[in-house]
Amino acid sequence: MWSAGIARLLRPSAALLAVAALTACSVYPPPAAQPAPPQNERASADADVLTRAQIDQINAQRMEDLLDGRFPGVQVLPLGGRPTIIVRGLRDPRVVVDNVPLTDPQWVWSLNPRDVDRIEVLKEGTALYGSRGGHGVVLITTRID
């Protein structure tokens, strides 16, 4: 008996349905297109860079030596018997080697440090790499001889 009263209260009026239909089907102008930034400029100002000259001075034998203690907020800790990159306290950042995101960030340890040309760490890369970039992004560029 009381359900009939609720049904009457919840029944939308024809005017409300017409307004909803007009709003949903209206054509809005597309947002103004903005030019893309140059490839060498990043959207985040929280980028730390290790260049080839700095890598040569370090004379690292392992990739851990290049990453651990070289960037503020970045640590390499042995978790579960293998090294793990931690950016701002968050594990498993997005690792990108030569513009290709690695499916497993542990593959970065198989790189030879002598083949690395540049390392860039973005503390917040969500704008560039989606939700996985929220844990930070490690961009590695290898040498082309």
Going residue by residue through the chain, which has 145 residues, state the pLDDT in tens, using 9 for 90 and above. 555 555 555 555 655 565 566 565 655 555 555 454 455 444 444 578 999 999 999 889 999 999 988 899 899 999 888 899 999 888 889 999 999 999 888 899 999 999 999 999 988 887 888 787 888 899 999 988 6
Alpha helix locations (H) across 11-107? Answer: 14-25, 52-58, 63-67
Strand, helix or coil at 110? Answer: helix
pTM of the model: 0.66
Determine the distance from the C-alpha atom of residue 19 to the mean position of all C-alpha atoms in its chain, rounded to a whole number.
40
CATH 2.170.130.10, domain 47-142, yes or no: yes
Cα–Cα distance list, 4 to 7, 75, 136 (Å):
5, 64, 55
CA distance 85 to 64: 9
Q: Is 76 exposed, middle or buried (0-12, 13-18, 19+ CB in 10 A)?
A: buried
CA distance 86 to 68: 10
